[in-house]
């Protein structure tokens, strides 16, 4: 286990066969800010993570556990797929459409359409991606 591994605490909410579902409350960077009470932009939301290939009998609903990525490279892969690739798609399509002489509004729509198409492809391949990014539970 790597020391730099990012872990989040969560609560087991459901158990099915060899899959444990853990609910985590993910806080934005605002949670550590001293001015969050005045600002009113405190963001936190609940995420449910599926942890597969575990002995489900070892866990019970309501148990507090820690969830981490199986390796650090998986976190990098997730960041690339969700932030880096869409950024480059957006930028390349926008610049390309402007270079072709399209108006700014049409170019922006083309670029956003390209990102939307990428999201559809990502959603279509979600089961394949899910098998490459695995979470582990730490008691």
Q: How confident is the model at residue 129 (pLDDT cuts 50, 70, 90)?
A: confident
Q: Could you identify the residue written with the tokens 């507090």?
A: 64
pLDDT at 113 over 50: yes
Cβ neighbourhood burial of 123 (10 Å; 0-12, 13-18, 19+): exposed
| pLDDT, mean of residues 40-44 | 53
Helices (H), 63-124: 72-79, 85-99, 104-124
Spatial CA neighbour of 136 closest among 18, 52, 21: 52
Q: How confident is the model at residue 40 (pLDDT cuts 50, 70, 90)?
A: very low
Question: What are the extents of the domains in the chain?
Answer: 6-69, 71-133
pLDDT tens digits along 53-100 = 677 778 888 888 888 876 666 778 888 999 999 999 999 999 999 999
The model's pTM is 0.60
Radius of gyration of the chain (CA): 20
């Amino acid at each position: 286990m790597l020391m730099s591994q990012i872990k989040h605490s969560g609560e087991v909410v459901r158990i099915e066969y060899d899959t444990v579902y853990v609910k985590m409350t993910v806080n934005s960077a605002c949670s550590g800010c001293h001015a969050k009470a005045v600002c009113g932009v405190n963001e936190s939301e609940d995420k449910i993570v599926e942890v597969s290939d575990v002995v489900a009998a070892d866990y019970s609903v309501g148990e507090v556990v820690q969830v981490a990525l199986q390796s650090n490279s998986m976190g990098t892969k997730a960041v690339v797929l969700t932030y880096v690739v869409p950024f480059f798609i957006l930028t390349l399509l926008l610049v390309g459409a402007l270079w072709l002489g399209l108006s700014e509004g049409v170019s922006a729509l083309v670029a956003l359409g390209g990102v939307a198409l990428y999201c559809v492809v990502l959603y279509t391949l979600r089961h394949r991606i899910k098998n490459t990014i695995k979470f582990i539970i730490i008691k």
